[in-house]
Amino acid sequence: MKALILVGGFGTRLRPLTLSVPKPLVEFANKPMILHQIEALKAVGVTEVVLAINYQPEVMLNFLKEFETKLGITITCSQETEPLGTAGPLALARDKLVDESGEPFFVLNSDVISEYPFKEMIEFHKAHGGEASIMVTKVDEPSKYGVVVMEESTGQVDKFVEKPKLFVGNKINAGIYLLNPSVLDRIELRPTSIEKEVFPKIAAEKKLYAMVLPGFWMDIGQPRDYITGLRLYLDSLRKKASPKLASGPNIVGNVLVHETAKIGEGCLIGPDVAIGPGCVVESGVRLSRCTVMRGVRIKKHACISSSIIGWHSTIGQWARVENMTILGEDVHVCDEIYSNGGVVLPHKEIKSSILKPEIVM
């Protein structure tokens, strides 16, 4: 089976992290975002994954070769020369997605983190015999998204309503599709929206079905949702009694600590923390609701919450970092500094406190 992952453009919403690394390779819970999806696809028998990107693939290709070998799956890039929207890339990658087998192929939005119930989706798709299956997820505020109006018992989709002002339902498009090859005949090679142009037609022909996503879902393409998504993801690990979660007297709630990271005496870590490879957390440090990327050093007595600390950065002694502070790669926060929502570009030194959220370039 094959899959297409819509990676898209420059990942500007996840800057400053994406100033150093292409978005699919930014780690989430100590694993590159795209690897979460590729591993789940491999587990249901997908043998070839196509990444639809609209920038130069050179940086990604080295990493991809590594994954290909490790996972035993073929990964290729399909590069847009002009932005093709959410459907156009499928037309561009047509030859890679369709073979004689006539099997359906998956399409994923690269920012989506979830349980990835691909096996159940394949069964659902076979059972209803329609042309396209989509995953939907329940949200509290559907008016911010595109709502899918469907028949509850069969899952047959009636229509899509973008950002509705009146309540029409609370299920939104989760960005995970399973499509028959015939869908490609409906897509021209031009900027096209799958939600606005392609799916509504298939729904009108009563060939589009939606399955409600069991478990958590989050679009982690921006820092606030990345941090919320980590909480949901770690919670799902807890529910599965995963041995990956850390335990010990200095751990509170759900915490991931890479085996090569070091935690000092008297720390209190958690809840909802991920600590990456090679990190050094010195003694007396408090971490909550944060991600610490590879190679970071947190010095003694520092206190970090609701933040993301980029690769190879350092946080000084007694520093206080909170409220959606996002540090890019190689950022050095001096001793005793306070950062309230500072967003700091790579290779900077922070010598004075940031009292209100701002970008530091």
Which residue carries 């922070």 as its tokens?
350
Kindly report each contact of residues 141-149 with a partner whose C-beta sits within 8 Å and lies 24 or more positions away, as own/partner.
142/167, 142/168, 142/169, 142/170, 142/171, 142/172, 145/172, 145/173, 146/172, 146/173, 146/195, 147/171, 147/172, 148/172, 148/173, 148/210
214 binds its own copies (CB under 8 A): no
CB of 343 to its own copies, least distance (A): 7
297 binds its own copies (CB under 8 A): no
Q: Which C-beta is closer to its own copies: that of 55 or that of 216?
A: 55
CB of 88 to its own copies, least distance (A): 18
Q: Which C-beta is closer to its own copies: that of 11 or that of 32?
A: 11
Q: Which C-beta is closer to its own copies: that of 46 or that of 309?
A: 309
CB of 111 to its own copies, least distance (A): 17
CB of 347 to its own copies, least distance (A): 11
361 binds its own copies (CB under 8 A): yes
Q: Which stretch binds its own copies (CB under 8 A): 10-18, 172-180, 218-226, 246-254?
A: 10-18
Answer yes or no: are the C-beta atoms of 201 and 186 closer than 8 Å.
yes
Q: x/- site string to its own copies, residues 338 to 357, per CB under 8 A?
A: -----x-x------------
Q: How many CA atoms lie within 13 A of 116 on its CB side?
A: 20
Runs of H (alpha helix) within the chain: 33-43, 58-71, 88-92, 94-97, 118-128, 199-204, 223-239
Q: What is the C-alpha to C-alpha distance for residues 151 and 137, in angstroms, rounded to an integer?
A: 15
Binders of its own copies in range 12-71 (CB under 8 A): 12, 15-16, 19
CB of 359 to its own copies, least distance (A): 4
List interacting residues with its own copies (CB under 8 A): 9-10, 12, 15-16, 19, 343, 345, 359, 361
